[in-house]
Amino acid sequence: MTPDQCRQARELLGWHQQRLALQANSCLSSVVGFEAGEKVTRPTTVNAFRAALEAAGVEFVGGAVVRLRL
């Protein structure tokens, strides 16, 4: 998952960065840093973000495509 995909997925769900941090059991600064591309984020943290977004109904469909599960 790229930072842009993360941002798009949050927007589809209407989530703020804080909500993603809570759902992923992470901290706000990790979400902010990842989405801004300002820091290296551990793969386990990115996987937690992705898992939280997928559990809420987001699908990552190849390339840069993000959509809500039908």
Domain map of the chain by residue range? 3-68
Residues near 51 by beta carbon (within 8 Å), at least 6 away in sequence: 24
Please report, for residues 34, 39, 41, the alpha-carbon distance to residue 46 in angstroms, rounded to integers and kept in the order given.
8, 12, 7
- In CATH, 3-68 is 3.90.870.10: no
Q: Is 90 exceeded by the pLDDT of residue 70?
A: no
Tens digit of each residue's pLDDT (9 = 90 or more) over 11-42: 999 999 999 999 999 999 999 999 999 888 99
Q: Which of 33-37, 38-42, 47-51, 54-58 has the lowest mean pLDDT?
A: 38-42
In this prediction the pTM is 0.92
Q: What is the pLDDT, as a whole number, of residue 2?
A: 93
Q: What is the pLDDT of residue 69?
A: 81
Angle at 12 between CA 70 and CA 1, to 5 degrees: 90
